[in-house]
Structure 1
Amino acid sequence: MAAYLQSSLSVRLKRLTRLTGLFAGLLLSAQVGNAAPALEPGPAQPLKGIGGAEGGPGYQAVADPGFNLQPRDLIFSASPDPDLKALIKGAMGPDGEVRLEQAFLERPLRPSGVRWKAGRFYSDIGYPHREHPAQWGYTQGHVPYGFLKKPFHLRDTGLQLTWKAEASYHLRLGVEAFQGESGQLNRFDGKEVLAGAGLGRQAVGRYGEASDGPRLYTAFAEAAPPLGGPHRLQGSVFGILDSDRQELRYAGSPELQQGSYWMAGTSWVYSRNTPTAFGDGRLKLSAEYLHAEKDLEVAYHADEPGLVGEDRRRTEEAYSLQARYGFSPEVNADVRFDLVGLVSGLRTEGRDQTATHLALESTWSPTEHSTLRARLTRDAGERPGPRSSESRFMLRYSLDLGHFGGDFL
C-alpha cells in the first residue's frame, strides 16, 4: 500500500506544501535457473553496476519477497518569496525512523536564465537517473546505476548552477560541485579501513585522510527539439569527475591504490503521448550509455614496496535499453535490457567481468490508484565462479492514495 498525503501550511504569507508517503507492497517471488552459490548463506549474489566488479554496491531490488513496508517520502517545500524555493525531504522507514534525503535552497538569477541550488540534493545527470523510484515502470532499478550511493542515485551536499535557454526548444546546461560523500562513485576508504586491514600507523597517518572538498564534480547538457503534437524527444550528455579516489585491494597482501575516476554518459528518450488515461497507445523508448575510467596507481604495498607507482587503470562500460507500450487504458508492457562490463584493466581471477539483465514486465491498473505487476527477469554473469544465470518471476500488487507524477515525458 502506498500513501501520498498532501498538506499545506502558511509561512510568511506564502505556503509550505508537499506530500508525504508510505509504501507497502505485496511481492510474491519464485526463482528458477542455474544460480551460482552465494558468497554468504542466502540467495545468489545479485548483479552489480559499474564499479561493482571491483567491490561496488550490489544491484538491489526495490522490494523483497513477501509483504513489504518500504521507506517513502516526507516532503516539505516553502516559498518565502516568489523566487526562492526551499525543500526538505526525508524518508520514513517501517520502524518510523526518518532519514534526511534532501535539504536545499534554490533561486533564479534574473534575467540571466541562471539558477542556483545549494544544500543536499540529487544530481541532475541523465534522464533515467532523475526518475524517482515511485516513477519506475519496473520493480527494480537500472543495473548501470548500481554503483551509485543508495539505490541508483547520486546524492550529496554541494552547489549546482544551471542555465536554461528562453526559446521554443528546450536547452539546459549545468555544473555541480559536491563534497564527495557518495559511496562507490567517489570511493575513499580512509583511515578506519586502512587500520582494520593491518596497515601500520605511519601508512594510516599518511594516507588515511581525504583532501578537503569539494572532491566530486559533474557537468551536463540536455536538449529537446520542438517536434509538436504527441511526440517528444530529449537527449543529454554528462560527465562526472572524482578528483581524490582511494581503494584498498587484496592480492595476497594489502595494496593501496590512489588517483582519480571519471565517467561520461549520454541518455536519450522518445515518447508518444495520447490523451487517454493510463497510457492507452502511449510509447516510450529510452537508451543510455555509460563509460567509466579509473586512473589509479599503487601508493602503498605491504610486502612489495617496488610496486609503488605502478598503474592500476580500469575501463568499464554499460548500456541500457528500455521500451514501454500501452496496449489499452489499463494495460502496459515493458521490456528492458542492461549490460555492464569491464572493458580493460585488472580482472578478478575466476570471475566473469560482464553482466546482463533482461526484464519483461506487464502492468494492469484496474483503478487509478492500484497496480498489479507481473515481472520475468533473466540475469547472467558477474558472480563468483563460472558464468552463471538466474531467472525470476515476481508478482506485486500496490495501492496508493494520490500521485507522484507521470511516467512519460
Structure 2
Amino acid sequence: MLKHKVMMAALSVAVAAPQAYAADKKEQKELAEIRAEIRQMKEAYEARLQAMEQRLQQAQADNAAAKAQIAAIGAGAPAAQAAPASAPIPTAGAAPAVAAYVETPVAPASTAPTGGANPASNLFNPNISMILGGTLQNLKQDTSQYRLQGFAPSGGEVGPGKRGFNLGESELTMAANIDPQFAGQLTFSMSGENEVSVEEAFVQTRAMSNGLNIKAGRFLSAIGYLNGQHAHTWDFVDAPLAYQAFLGGQYKPDGVQAKWLAPLDQFLEVGMEAGNGTAFPGNDRNKNGAGAVSVFAHLGDDIGNSSSYRAGVSYLHTGAEQRAYEDQGLTNSFSGKSNMWIADAIYKWAPNGNPTNTNFKLQGEYFRRKESGTLNYALETDAAASGNYRSVQSGWYLQGVYQFMPTWRAGLRYDRLSSGSQRIGLIDSGALAWSNLPILEAYNPSRSSFMIDYSPSEFSRLRLQLARDQSRPGVTDNQIFLQYIMSLGTHAAHSF
C-alpha cells in the first residue's frame, strides 16, 4: 500500500512539473514584453524631450537673429530678404471660412523702420512673381471673321484668339509694403505680340480703422466676381462671353476704390469706385473728374462645416463719346450713357472644409446693360449720318468645377447673350437698313465649354478645353485649347 502511494505521488510530480515550467516560461515572456514596452516608451519620451529642447534652442536663436535684424534696420543697414511661400495657382477651392473672403495683403511684413529708426528710410524688399502662359489652339472657323452678333465690338479681348501656337499673356508683379500705412503693387502684362502694358499699378492703405480700405491707381475693379481675378486664376482658358461683350474682357479703371468690411460674423463688404472712364464700355472723353462710377456689395458665410457661399450685386455708370467700331469696312461710333447691373454668386463645397483631395465650385453671373445716346454711321465719309440709339442687352454664364483627385479637376461652362431690344433711329426712319449695320442685327450668341486640368503643384497647371461656339448665325466653331500656366516667385494669395 505504501509503495502504491509513493508511486502515485511521484507520478503527480512528474505530470505537474512540465505545466509549472510552461507557466513560468509564459510569465517570463510577458515580463520581458512589459520591460521592452517600458524601454520603448522611455526612449520615445527622451527623444521627444530632446526634440523639444532643440526647438527651444532654435526659437531662442531665431529670436536673437530677429532682434539683430531689427537693430540693423534701425541703423539703416539692409534687411535680409524674405521669401514666404505662396500658392498662386490653387489646386483646390478655398476652405469655407469667413476669413477666406478677405483679400490677403499684397506684401510681407513691413520692412519700414520702427522705434528709434530713421523715418526717411524706405527699403525696397518686394515680392516678385512671374506668370508664364501659352496655348495651342485648333479652331474650325477663321478668327478674322469672329464677332458677337448683335453687340458692337468692344475693341478689347474678344474672341478665341489666333490659331496654332500662341505665347499667351505673361505677368510680372512686384509688391511690397511702403510703410506701416501703405502698400503698393505693380503688374506688367506682356502679350504674345510683344506688347507690354500696365495691368495694375496701385497703392492701398494698410492700417485704417473700422474695416475701411482705400486703393488708388489702376486696378482690377471689384464689380462682379470674375473681374477682380487675374486671368491665370480662371477655371477656363478664356473669359465668359458676357465679360467680352460688356467689359471688353475685364474692367480696369484708373481711379480710386474704397471698401468697407462690416464687423460681423458673416462676410459683408460694400464699396465704391470712381475712375476716369476710359475703360470700356466708356472711352477717353477728355474730361475732368470722375468719368465712371461703380458701387458693389458682397455677402458671404459658411453653410455648416463643408460649404460656403458668396453673393453680390454691382452697378457701373459710365459714358462714351465717339466710341468707335468697325463694320463692313466703315467706322461707326456711339456717344451717350452706359449703365450696367451685375449679379454674381458662388458656392463652394469641400469635405469638412478640407479642399485638398476633393472639392466642388459652382459660380455664375448675370449682366444687364442699358445704353442710350447717338449712333454715328460711316464717319469721315460722304454717307455720314447720325440718329438716336437705345438698347437693353443682357448675358449670363454658369459654370461648375469638380476636383475629383488631388491634382485633377474637370468643369463645364455655358454662356449666353441676348442682344435684346435695340431702337436705332437711322433704321426706324428708313435712312438705313439692317444691311448697313449687320453687326447690330438681333441674335443670341451662345457657347458650351468643357475643361479638364492637371496641377502637379500649386505652381503649375496644364489644361485641355473643348468648346462649341455659336456667336454668329448659322456658324458653329468647334474649338480645342491646350494651355499651360506656370508661376515663378512669391505671389500673394487670391481672394475667395
Q: TM-score range by the shorter chain?
A: 0.7 to 0.9
Aligned to 1:144, what secondary structure does the other structure show?
helix
1:238-253 aligned at under 5 Å gives the runs 238-247=314-323
- Are the aligned partners of 1:88 and 1:103 in contact in 2 as well (CA < 8 Å)? yes
Look up the match of 1:74.
173
Aligned to 1:146, what secondary structure does the other structure show?
helix
Paired AA for residue 438 in structure 2: E
- TM-superposed CA distance for 1:125, in Å, is 0.5
- Are the aligned partners of 1:135 and 1:404 in contact in 2 as well (CA < 8 Å)? no
Change (3 A) 1:281 1:248: closer
Q: d(CA) in 2 for partners of 1:255 and 1:402?
A: 45
TM-score using structure 2 length: 0.64
Paired AA for residue 254 in structure 2: T
Change (3 A) 1:374 1:408: farther
Query: Gapped runs of 5+ residues in structure 1?
Result: 36-41, 189-208
- TM-superposed CA distance for 1:30, in Å, is 2.7
Task: Work out which of the residue numbers 325, 329, 336 in structure 2 matches 1:259.
Answer: 336
Aligned to 1:86, what secondary structure does the other structure show?
strand
Whether 1:127 and 2:225 are equivalent positions in the alignment is yes
- Are the aligned partners of 1:69 and 1:94 in contact in 2 as well (CA < 8 Å)? yes
Whether 1:186 and 2:282 are equivalent positions in the alignment is yes
Look up the match of 2:389.
312
TM-score using structure 1 length: 0.76
Look up the match of 1:379.
469
Task: Work out which of the residue numbers 255, 261, 265 in structure 2 matches 1:164.
Answer: 261
Q: d(CA) in 2 for partners of 1:67 and 1:298?
A: 36
Whether 1:296 and 2:373 are equivalent positions in the alignment is yes
Change (3 A) 1:98 1:297: closer
- TM-superposed CA distance for 1:397, in Å, is 4.1
Task: Work out which of the residue numbers 221, 226, 246 in structure 1 matches 2:297.
Answer: 221
- Are the aligned partners of 1:119 and 1:158 in contact in 2 as well (CA < 8 Å)? yes
Look up the match of 2:6.
none
Whether 1:334 and 2:411 are equivalent positions in the alignment is yes
1:41-80 aligned at under 5 Å gives the runs 43-48=143-148, 53-57=151-155, 59-61=158-160, 65-66=164-165, 68=167, 70-80=169-179
Change (3 A) 1:157 1:235: same
- TM-superposed CA distance for 1:216, in Å, is 0.7
Runs (4 or more) in structure 1 with deviation over 6 Å come to 6-9, 94-97, 249-256, 275-278, 299-305, 405-408
Deviations along 1:316-373, whole A, 9 cap, x unmatched? Answer: 1010101000111122101001112210104643755321111001112345544332
Q: d(CA) in 1 for partners of 2:278 and 2:449?
A: 32
Change (3 A) 1:279 1:141: farther
Look up the match of 1:31.
139
Query: Gapped runs of 5+ residues in structure 2?
Result: 1-86, 89-105, 113-120, 425-433
Alignment identity in percent? 20
Q: d(CA) in 2 for partners of 1:116 and 1:359?
A: 37
**Alignment: residue pair count:** 367
Q: d(CA) in 2 for partners of 1:397 and 1:119?
A: 30
Paired AA for residue 271 in structure 2: G
Q: Which has the larger radius of gyration?
A: 2
- TM-superposed CA distance for 1:244, in Å, is 4.7
Q: d(CA) in 1 for partners of 2:206 and 2:483?
A: 42
Aligned to 2:145, what secondary structure does the other structure show?
coil
Higher strand share: 1
Deviations along 1:293-330, whole A, 9 cap, x unmatched? Answer: 1111368998799x86x531011101010100011112
Whether 1:349 and 2:425 are equivalent positions in the alignment is no
Alpha-carbon RMSD across the aligned residues, in angstroms, is 3.7
Higher helix share: 2
